[in-house]
Copies of this chain bind each other. A is one copy, B any other.
Amino acid sequence: MRGAILSVMNETDPNRVDDSLIALRRILRATEQYERDLAASAGLSPAQLRVLQIIAGKPDASATPSALAQQMGVSQATVTSVVDKLVARGLVRRVPSETDRRQTNVILTVTGRSALDEAPDALQQRYVREFVKLEDWEQAQLVASLERVAAMMDAHLIDASPVLTVGAIDGKRK
């Protein structure tokens, strides 16, 4: 790797910033890569998978397009097109809301549910397996650090809502 490039120093060791950024990059890359493979093997695109996961994470297994858009950080128009595809595959269904007829609830079908079960969360798999092996204090440490980093990064970003399928985790450790 590189190294001596930034040598001069005063207070903060620049290599540390560097190291942390590199580690972050690795994490990002690994995740992206994995997400792609995963989606591919499940016959779903990452975005489609994400929608399924978000919906599945809701208590009633349903969500409105606008909620999805917000959670995913994309526009409603985008959600519409992704949902279209999921509908076409019979993984979700659009059900008009009864309380407000402008709203549509996107709900999982049985097929969709099982498709999801086939495809574990992108981050999980390998990571979770390793994680549970750690000592208690190490886990706590990691969580604290990650949250710290997350806080540093998304400070201004509204609501980074966890998508993240608690369900899938439960499934594992039951």
A residues adjacent to B (C-beta < 8 A): 1-2, 4-6, 8-9, 12-34, 73, 121, 123-124, 126-128, 130-132, 136, 138-143, 145-150, 152-157, 160, 162-164, 166, 169-170, 173-174
A131-B17, A139-B13, A169-B15 given; A27·B164 CB < 8 A: no
Return A102 CB to nearest CB of chain B, in Å: 27
Partner of A27, one of B4, B5, B27: B27
Q: B73 near A16 (CB under 8 angstroms)?
A: no
- With A8-B136, A19-B147, A20-B143 known as contacts, the answer to whether A153 contacts B25 (CB < 8 A) is no
The complex places the Cα of A30 from the Cα of B152 at a distance, in Å, of 10
- Which residue of chain B has its CB nearest to the CB of A7? B136
- Please pick, from B15, B17, B30, B163, the residue contacting A154 in the complex, using a CB distance under 8 A: B30
This chain's copy number in the assembly: 2
Task: State whether A31 and B153 are in contact (beta carbons under 8 Å apart), knowing that A23-B147, A131-B20 are contacts in the complex.
Answer: yes
Complex formed: what's the CA distance from A31 to B157 in Å? Answer: 10
Residues of B within 8 A of A20 (CB): 131, 139, 142-143, 146
How far is B138's CA from A174's CA once the two chains are assembled, in angstroms? Answer: 35
Q: Give the 8 A-B residue pairs with the shortest CB-CB distance, closest first.
A: A145-B145, A23-B146, A30-B154, A26-B150, A26-B160, A30-B153, A130-B152, A22-B162
